[in-house]
Amino acid sequence: MEEQINKPEAIGKLEHNYEDYVLYVDDLSIEYTLGKTRIFAVSHVTFGIRTNESIGIVGESGCGKSTLAMAIAHILPPNARVTSGRVYFKGKVVVSPEMGASYSIRYDRKERKIENQLSIVRWKGISVIFQGALDSLNPVHKVGTQLSDIFIYRESMHPEEAEARSRQLLAAVGLEDWVYDLYPHQLSGGMKQRVVIAMAISLNPALIIADEPTTSLDVITQYRIMEELLRLRKTFGVALVSISHDIALISRLSDRLMVMYAGILVEKLPSNSFDVAQHPYTHLLVNSIPNLEEDIAEVQPIRGSPPRLISPIVGCPFFERCDYAVMSCRDESAAVLRQTQPFHEVACSVLPIFASASVKAQKFRKRGAVENNVSDQAIVLEASGLTRIFEKRTGIREIATGESNKITAVSRVDLTVRSGETVALVGETGSGKTTLSRMLGLLDVPTNGLVKIMGEPINLKKRKEIAAFRKIVQTIFQDPFQSINPRFPIASTVAEPLSVNRRTTSDKSSSMNDRFQQHGFGSVLSQAENHEVMVLKALQEVELTPPEDYVEKYPHQLSGGQRQRVSIARGLIVDPKILIADEPISMLDVSLRAGILNLLRKLKQDFGISVLYITHDVASARYLSDRIYVMYKGEIVETGETEDLIRKSAHPYTIALLLASIGIEGSISEKLGERIFSQSESTDNKGCLFAPRCQFAKDICSAEKPELLQVSQSHSSRCHFAQDIQGMGLTEIKAKKEAS
């Protein structure tokens, strides 16, 4: 193939062929050099996009999807090298082994020459929507300047005209006019993302690449940005390549989907639905994510972890993790895309032949889990009126004027967790859920209110008293990469709570241990042995098997999922009654999340441990929990038994959250009005905190604060109109969907 391209007559022919494609990626391979290691990020990827088409590329982190996107835009870092293939933009080569795909601001004659060739493609042909929440915008220039500069320097436009155009653009993406004079740091994440979108459409490009356009935004904003992108696509008629690990989002945004794994395209789907997927990886990926609409089957984790790409992969990269693998999967031709149906290509030599029926049959097992009635169980963890107020640094002036600099992170929260129950706490970033978890985990002292463990009130100011409760409540933190000491072997990490809580743990293990301790030296040995047994047991419990293999490893040798298991093992080793899991899966790869979710489920079923699961994701909360608390700006706004709360939500915020998570086009703004998207910052509101964003808000809402009142048995909502709006969310949407 490559030899053909090099011949001049072949090029002419190819250009003719690729004419109807806006973009054609032909056999593209890219590798990075990091010191002496080579990373084979993208291998032999081929696909094309026609005018006005939208393609979504799904994959986990590290699968090479971002590299692919940045290569198309020719903005890879300098250590990336194109090893094979070409990218054609409207028949013109923009990326090739000779041209590379990297950029450099440094002075280099050769690169300047390439850059001159590319200047008509840059932004006028291909533009990029970067992750706006990160620092994609220059911090020292105003939003307006950054927008109008595009017109001034790329279109040689007069500054005044450029300003007018920029203001139009801001309006086009739904931003107010005053945003023009703000700096990026003064904008919220969603607003920044819109500015980035405005920049991307500024020069009417033929193709837009959206690289994780909504990651790290909260659910409702994500939904809004997605709607914005869909609308712009219609108005401007551009081709769109969007890249994300969020399966739900991407299928809503695209006409066609492609799935990427370990640097290759494993499946090209004919439509935006994953229902017809044939590749085992695609199946497993979809099945590993809990969803809100269907009845919950057990989500299935994908075993193992993605390959590290430091050597070229021969055959199917999914081989080690695949249930259907046969020996021929190791053949060089195993992972080549083959057409199985019109417009449907799969890089699997086994499964499509098997017919996918058998896989589908097991997809939706009804929720067979034991619906154990926990309401009569003893309360193990109870919070009443829990409040945490943070004070900003105050100077002499504040004290003199009595000006308050207080931020109420958590406000009068009542919460109970019963024995053997899993309770989910759902809320978006900044809602105070982590602060609450720290107080419940005895890591922070509340400003007001009481925490009771096993019915005993705890005075968090008395350190000695708390020590006794530490082994009853254990916390698992969000980031497994930072919550485990990289210099300790796994065994030490897991055993640490034992040595820290030595005095309190000894009373649990039999009196024999005490006797040993009286004998000095011997007891040390036996205690160490005892610890080892306990470590192995804990590792076994979190399914790190065989545990002996992990004991001497260091964190960097483990995957994110394994690290999070170590973190859970560390919590389990003191035999706690309550486990507080603060966003345990949000930092993990998609395929590893299901494993942790199932583990938490198992802990509850097999050991009767109560779990407080803290998350921003309603679907996983539903999957895991018996009851849900929804938190908004430091307050619990709704609580109830999981299915009841989701089907008959009685608070507008919960409804918005659910609709955004399901994300049917137009559903939120239709139901809840545009105001839901406004970002109100007023926390000193006398009335309902959600009122500024609520369509149903009446005068009473801004004047009187609603209390958390029962709407039905064990279902309460903090809304004046709870009864009226109850059930507006999911049930209705579902009915609507079925009707259509």
Residues that bind other proteins (CB under 8 A): 73, 75, 77, 103, 105-107, 112, 118-119, 122-124, 127-128, 130, 134-142, 149-150, 153-154, 183, 185, 196, 199, 395, 397
Q: Give the shortest CB-674-to-other proteins separation in angstroms.
A: 29
Q: Give the shortest CB-147-to-other proteins separation in angstroms.
A: 10
Beta-bridge mates of residue 23: 49, 89
Region label for 62, one of left (φ > 0), alpha (ψ between -120 and 50) or beta (otherwise):
left
Q: Give the shortest CB-697-to-other proteins separation in angstroms.
A: 33
Q: Give the shortest CB-221-to-other proteins separation in angstroms.
A: 20
Please say whether the dihedral angle defined by the alpha carbons of residues 200, 31, 215 and 738, taken in this order, is positive or negative: positive
Nearer to other proteins, 203 or 450 (CB): 203
Q: Give the shortest CB-59-to-other proteins separation in angstroms.
A: 21
Q: Give the shortest CB-460-to-other proteins separation in angstroms.
A: 33
Look at the block and give the residue holding tokens 């090893």: 83
Q: Give the shortest CB-162-to-other proteins separation in angstroms.
A: 13
Strands 37-50 and 54-58: unpaired
Contact 300, 363 (CB under 8 A): no
Nearer to other proteins, 113 or 338 (CB): 113
Taking the C-alpha atoms of residue 321 and residue 636, their distance in angstroms, rounded to an integer, is: 41
Look at the block and give the residue holding tokens 């997809």: 363
Nearer to other proteins, 72 or 335 (CB): 72
Phi, psi of 61 (to 5 degrees): -65, 140
Q: Give the shortest CB-60-to-other proteins separation in angstroms.
A: 21
Nearer to other proteins, 13 or 141 (CB): 141
Beta-bridge mates of residue 264: 261
Q: Give the shortest CB-195-to-other proteins separation in angstroms.
A: 11
Q: Give the shortest CB-65-to-other proteins separation in angstroms.
A: 17
Strands 715-717 and 709-712: antiparallel
Nearer to other proteins, 135 or 177 (CB): 135
Q: Give the shortest CB-122-to-other proteins separation in angstroms.
A: 3
3-state secondary structure of 57: strand
| Per-residue CA distances from 322 to 64, 345, 350, 516 (Å) | 20, 19, 11, 50
Nearer to other proteins, 122 or 671 (CB): 122
| Per-residue CA distances from 357 to 285, 325, 340, 363 (Å) | 17, 17, 15, 10
Q: Give the shortest CB-480-to-other proteins separation in angstroms.
A: 25
Nearer to other proteins, 75 or 454 (CB): 75
3-state secondary structure 667-719: HHHHHHCHHHHCCCCCCCCCCCCCHHHCCCCCHHHHHCCCCCEEEECCEEECC
Q: Which of 463, 380, 447, 443 is nearest to 413 (CA)?
A: 447
Q: Give the burial string for 139-172 (b: 16+ CB within 10 Å, else e).
A: eeebbbbbbbbbbbeeeebeeeebbebbbebbeb
Q: Which amino acid is at 568?
A: I
Nearer to other proteins, 35 or 139 (CB): 139
Nearer to other proteins, 106 or 464 (CB): 106
Phi, psi of 87 (to 5 degrees): -120, 125
Q: How buried is residue 731: exposed, middle or buried, by Cβ count under 10 Å (0-12/13-18/19+)? A: middle
Taking the C-alpha atoms of residue 99 and residue 727, their distance in angstroms, rounded to an integer, is: 58
Beta-bridge mates of residue 21: 50
Angle of helix 490-500 relative to helix 560-572, nearest 10 degrees, comes to 20
Nearer to other proteins, 111 or 641 (CB): 111
Nearer to other proteins, 208 or 225 (CB): 208
How many C-beta neighbours within 10 Å does residue 378 have?
A: 11
Nearer to other proteins, 76 or 574 (CB): 76
Q: Give the shortest CB-199-to-other proteins separation in angstroms.
A: 7
Nearer to other proteins, 103 or 319 (CB): 103
| Per-residue CA distances from 305 to 258, 302, 313, 325 (Å) | 20, 8, 15, 16
Q: Give the shortest CB-135-to-other proteins separation in angstroms.
A: 5
Nearer to other proteins, 138 or 680 (CB): 138
Q: Which amino acid is at 63?
A: C
Beta-bridge mates of residue 164: none
Angle of helix 189-201 relative to helix 159-172, nearest 10 degrees, comes to 120
Beta-bridge mates of residue 476: 581
Nearer to other proteins, 84 or 136 (CB): 136
Beta-bridge mates of residue 610: 578
Q: Give the shortest CB-398-to-other proteins separation in angstroms.
A: 11
Nearer to other proteins, 199 or 472 (CB): 199
Taking the C-alpha atoms of residue 255 and residue 317, their distance in angstroms, rounded to an integer, is: 26
3-state secondary structure of 160: helix
Q: Give the shortest CB-110-to-other proteins separation in angstroms.
A: 13
Q: Give the shortest CB-141-to-other proteins separation in angstroms.
A: 7
3-state secondary structure of 220: helix
Contact 481, 563 (CB under 8 A): yes
Strands 54-58 and 80-89: unpaired
Phi, psi of 72 (to 5 degrees): -60, -40
Nearer to other proteins, 76 or 636 (CB): 76
Phi, psi of 681 (to 5 degrees): -110, 0
